[in-house]
């Protein structure tokens, strides 16, 4: 009985934290990863001698580049958090999974930004626009799903988000009816 009570407390805690991130997560992620992404992009593009003009803008070859919240890939970070919270696992394993995922998302996002900026400053604006929309609207979600699958393999996570909890709750209900 204590195991059931402990599991249900842990489940409701995970659901509450997931709800918190659904409501406020984008703002939190943007406030943390916005400056990190912007300044790392600024430094990785030093070959092009960017001129910093604000905390969200720099100029390269007379092209003004403005970082908006979508540039941060906040949705990718949020999706990873929610997938992790909706999966039963040890707390330390969840933190490790999120940390690994965040690092991979940040690196992939910096590569994406650098590639797109390089296309833009080298006068490939049509290719820039096409790739920008393709990556933003299609590949970003696919990337997080594949990242999740890879992280579950690396961290030996056997549970499936939502489904494993659903099966466990059904088992608890069946047991309670006996």
Rounded to whole angstroms, the Cα distance separating 158 from 172 reads 20
Rounded to whole angstroms, the Cα distance separating 162 from 82 reads 10
pLDDT value at position 133?
Answer: 82
Let me know how long the chain is: 178
Rounded to whole angstroms, the Cα distance separating 53 from 30 reads 20
The H or E element containing residue 14 is helix 2-44
Rounded to whole angstroms, the Cα distance separating 131 from 125 reads 10
Render each residue's pLDDT in the chain as its tens digit; 178 residues. Answer: 688 888 889 999 999 999 999 999 999 999 999 999 999 999 999 999 989 898 899 999 989 999 888 889 999 999 999 999 999 999 999 999 999 999 999 999 999 999 999 999 998 888 888 888 888 777 888 899 999 999 999 999 999 998 999 999 888 888 888 7
Tokens of 25: 């997560």
pTM summary value: 0.89
Tokens of 152: 């579950």
pLDDT value at position 1?
Answer: 65
Q: Which of 154, 159, 115, 178 is nearest to 7 (CA)?
A: 159
pLDDT value at position 146?
Answer: 95
Rounded to whole angstroms, the Cα distance separating 54 from 56 reads 5
- In the sheet where 51-52 sits, what is the strand order? 51-52, 57-60, 63-66
């Amino acid at each position: 009985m204590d195991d059931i009570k402990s599991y249900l407390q842990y489940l409701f805690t995970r659901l509450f934290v997931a709800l918190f991130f659904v409501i406020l997560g984008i703002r939190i992620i943007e406030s943390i990863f916005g400056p990190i992404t912007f300044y790392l992009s600024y430094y990785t593009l030093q070959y092009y001698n960017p001129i910093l003009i604000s905390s969200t803008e720099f100029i390269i070859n007379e092209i003004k580049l403005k970082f908006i919240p979508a540039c941060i890939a906040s949705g990718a970070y949020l999706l990873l958090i929610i997938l992790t919270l909706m999966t039963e696992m040890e707390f330390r394993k969840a933190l490790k999974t999120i940390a690994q995922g965040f690092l991979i998302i940040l690196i992939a996002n910096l590569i994406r930004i650098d590639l797109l900026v390089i296309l833009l400053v080298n006068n490939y604006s049509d290719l820039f626009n096409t790739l920008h929309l393709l990556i933003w609207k299609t590949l970003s979600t696919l990337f997080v799903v594949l990242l999740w699958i890879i992280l579950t393999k690396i961290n030996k996570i056997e549970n499936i988000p939502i489904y494993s909890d659903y099966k466990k709750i059904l088992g608890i209900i069946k047991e309670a009816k006996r």
